[in-house]
Amino acid sequence: MPAEGFEPPTYGLQNRCTTTVLSRHFDGTRTRFGAPRAFYRARRLGNQHFSAGATGLGPISGQKAPATAELDGKARRVYTSTSMQSTKKPPAMSYVSGSCDRPLLYRTVDGVLKAAVHEHPDRAALAVPYQSVRWSFAEFDHEVEHVARGMLACGLKPGERIGIWAPNCAEWLLTMFAAARVGLVLVNINPAYRTTELEFALRLVGCRALVFAPRFKGSDYGQMLCSLIPELLTAAPGRLYCAVFPELRLLIQLGNEPLRGTLGFEDLSIAGHDLDESTVASLEDDQDADRVFNIQFTSGTTGTPKGAALTHFNIVNNGFFVGEGMRLAASDRICIPVPLYHCFGMVLGVLAAMTHGAASVFSGEGFEPLAVLDTVASERCTALLGVPTMFIAELEHPRFGEFDLLSLRTGIMAGSPCPIAVMCRVVAEMHMPQVTICYGMTETSPVSFQTQPDDPLDRRVSTVGRVHPHVQVKIIDTQGRVTPRGSPGELLTRGYSVMRGYWEDTERTREAIDEGGWMHTGDLAVIDEEGFCNIVGRVKDMIIRGGENISPREIEEFLYRHPAVFDVAVVGVPDPKYGEAVCACIRLRDGTMATEEEIREFCRGAIAHYKVPRYVHFVESFPLTISGKVQKYLIREHLRAALNLVEQAHA
């Protein structure tokens, strides 16, 4: 369960699509309402109105607000005098708060499907061409009902955990929505996990059931499960008793030939045929949007994975407002090549689409650029999702020019820092004038910032946009103080989107979410005067060279300007003199050449001398997570060995 006794507060905000910008100006006196005086500046930017509406300032509990006439002459003179002394405008601080005239939805994941069935029963809900699946919302709901009944017939009870270990497929979504219907907690398991990681995940959350694919990309899931669970081959389906996983009872396999001891997915969907209809209906009536529905494991690029416990309320609302940011409508068709196990596919893809009556279209079990291009063209998709490396692979594919992408209008680039040059090409060459950038993390459901289609183009391609509706964000320095606008610091976020906590991990929950309910992201960011945010790196990725803090992202953006650079990752490596030195790992474009010295010369005179890479390393590829994030810690480890560098001991 989530960390015991820990539940971050939900913060209600005013109902206008605005971003509240806090400008600190405390003069030491009290306002009429007993709070410190704070002056807020309001300004109009495009369609957004900056106001003081969501600051939360108000009467002190139990204190009566005095009328002005009640103030005696002395107090009034002090008030006037103190106010007149403050003539210099204070610097605006890095705090923003988004509010919206669209209220938060109090709806479960199953409630999202029910609403779509009511409003758009015959519209396309799901298209999976490689499985020959095409379902309307009514048809999809019918299939979900069968699977939900099967889950109950197999003995699964509300609150129990059901894992899904499979690539993108129709059964993934059936499992997700059926689990929501009967009150189970869905556990997303990375298809790239191997035995050690799978064992850790299953033991941590205590899965009662596991839905799994027979194999994916050369990995034999059945074989791995048999190595972990020797009792499986002699167990009856649904009656597994395992020493390693004492809570695990039921394994459900996709495909036509289920492993001995497992139940086929088709058998699951017919297992509840004779179940009383009132059984499922009573569970639906008992659903609560504030209950934990989903456990998503963080990428695990360092240390053991953590299970972020997310409620229906978390992910339904985040999906809805992401869809609002894309201006989705029921006529849209969203191509989803990103993995469903990740919040990108599940929330920004499926839930964003379904909360707007739009169709979800899958291009394949995993990402393959040619399949994405073909799917967009043949299915006439209007939106496309992807991490930067996916868009790069699509743009650089030798058959890119063969496909008609004119149906595209919008989409999302997210998951890792989005190079400006790549964004510009996506807008121009993939016909996505309204493409948006999203920023967030699994623990925040995930999105906190998003660009808008009507933002100026230069802001849409060079920032992650402005704060999401009903979310608060501040930037703090190393002392925990809110930074002035334009100054970098760690990004903290608070609001409805913050997870309930890490499953069964009180200590790491308290490390991540402070007493004020602020989620510490570990990302370095800058918020400008207009509220636009730039992610400039990770707190842990920051390179400190001789006392100078260097943002790898800044150097990467500069190196993308070099005509031979296809992709780049900048990391810090040990240096005996300066503590750390800058190393640029570069993938060259096909048919181009460059030397280490040429790259350095390109930098000299254009960026500060201490940012010029001391080392330039040419590579064929980068180590990536399955969601496309570059694993910089692996790059650093490889470079330390390849360059024979020794990290110096330090305090």
Catalogue all structural domains in the chain, each as residue range(s) with its CATH number.
18-99 (no CATH), 109-115+134-287 (3.40.50.980), 470-538 (2.30.38.10), 543-642 (3.30.300.30)
Q: Say if residue 626's pLDDT is above 90.
A: no
Structure tokens at 518: 């602020």
Which strands form 579-588's sheet, in the order they lie side by side? 565-575, 579-588, 615-618
Percent pLDDT > 90 in the chain is 67
Give the residue from 598, 604, 593 showing the smallest Cα distance to 555: 604
pLDDT at 547: 60
The DSSP-derived string for 34-98 is SSBP------EETTEE--STTS---PPTT-PPPPGGGS-HHHHHHHHHHHHH--SPPPPBSEEEE
- Residue of 103, 124, 113 whose CA lies nearest to 355: 113
DSSP string spanning 362-392?
---SS--HHHHHHHHHHHT-SEEEE-HHHHH
Pure H helices in 408-482: 420-429, 457-462
pLDDT for residue 67 is more than 50 = no
Q: Which residue matches tokens 């529905």?
A: 293
The residue ranking higher by pLDDT, 280 or 10, is: 280
% the chain with pLDDT above 70: 84
Report how far residue 249's alpha carbon sits from residue 150's, in angstroms, rounded to the nearest whole number. Answer: 15
The length of the chain in residues reads: 651
Q: What is the pLDDT of residue 223?
A: 94
pLDDT tens track for 350-397: 999 999 999 999 999 999 999 999 999 999 999 999 988 899 899 999
Question: What are the φ and ψ backbone dihedral angles of 616, each rounded to 5 degrees?
Answer: -125, 125
Per-residue model confidence as pLDDT tens digits over 214-235: 999 888 999 999 999 999 999 9
In the prediction, which pLDDT does 60 show? 29
Three-class SS state of 265: helix
* Cβ atoms of 181 and 283 closer than 8 Å: yes
Q: Which residue has the higher pLDDT, 605 or 164?
A: 164
Q: What is the rounded average pLDDT of the residues 313-327?
A: 98
Average pLDDT over residues 265-274: 94
Whether the model pTM is above 0.85: no
62 has a pLDDT exceeding 50: no
CA distance 375 to 128: 10
Please name which of 184, 172, 164 lies closest in space to residue 143, comparing C-alpha atoms.
172
For residue 187, give the 3-state DSSP assignment. Answer: strand
* DSSP character at residue 342: S
Q: Dump pLDDT digits (tens) for 123-144.
A: 999 999 999 999 999 999 999 9
The pLDDT value given to residue 1: 57
Better-scored residue on pLDDT, 6 or 388: 388
**pLDDT score at 311:** 98
Tell me the per-residue pLDDT of 407-461, one tens digit each, with 9 for 90 and over. Answer: 999 999 987 778 888 899 999 999 999 999 999 999 999 999 999 999 998 899 8
Cα 49 from chain centroid?
A: 26
Inter-residue contact 146 to 272 (CB < 8 Å): yes
For residue 446, say if its preceding peptide bond is cis, omega within 30 degrees of 0: yes
Q: How many whole angstroms separate alpha carbon 648 and alpha carbon 636?
A: 15
Distance CA(587)–CA(566), nearest Å, equals 5
The residue ranking higher by pLDDT, 50 or 627, is: 627
Q: How far apart are CA 509 and CA 525, in angstroms?
A: 22
Q: What pLDDT shows up at residue 269? A: 96
Distance separating alpha carbons of residues 209 and 250, to the nearest angstrom? 5
CB 14, CB 513: distance < 8 Å: no
Distance CA 630, CA 8 (A): 31
Distance in angstroms (rounded) separating the CA atoms of residues 229 and 241: 9
- Rounded distance between C-alpha atoms, residue 634 and residue 622, angstroms: 9
**For the chain, what is the largest distance between any 2 Cα atoms, rounded to a whole number of angstroms?**
89
Rounded mean pLDDT of 198-207? Answer: 94
238 in helix, strand or coil? coil
The amino acid at residue 193 is Y
pLDDT (mean) for 326-336: 98
Q: pLDDT-derived band of residue 152, with 50, 70 and 90 as boundaries?
A: very high
Q: Cβ–Cβ contacts within 10 Å for residue 241, how many?
A: 10
Distance (Å, whole) CA 382 – CA 433: 11
Which pLDDT tens digit goes with each residue over 497-516? 999 999 999 999 999 999 99
**pLDDT computed for residue 295 by the predictor:** 98
Q: What is the mean pLDDT of residues 103-130?
A: 98
Distance, in Å, from the CA atom of 466 to the CA atom of 531, rounded to the nearest integer, reads 6
Cα angle, residue 175 at apex, residues 240 and 238 outer, rounded to 5°: 15
Residue 292 pLDDT > 80: yes
Q: In 29-92, at which residue ranges do the beta strands (DSSP E only) sit?
A: 44-45, 48-49
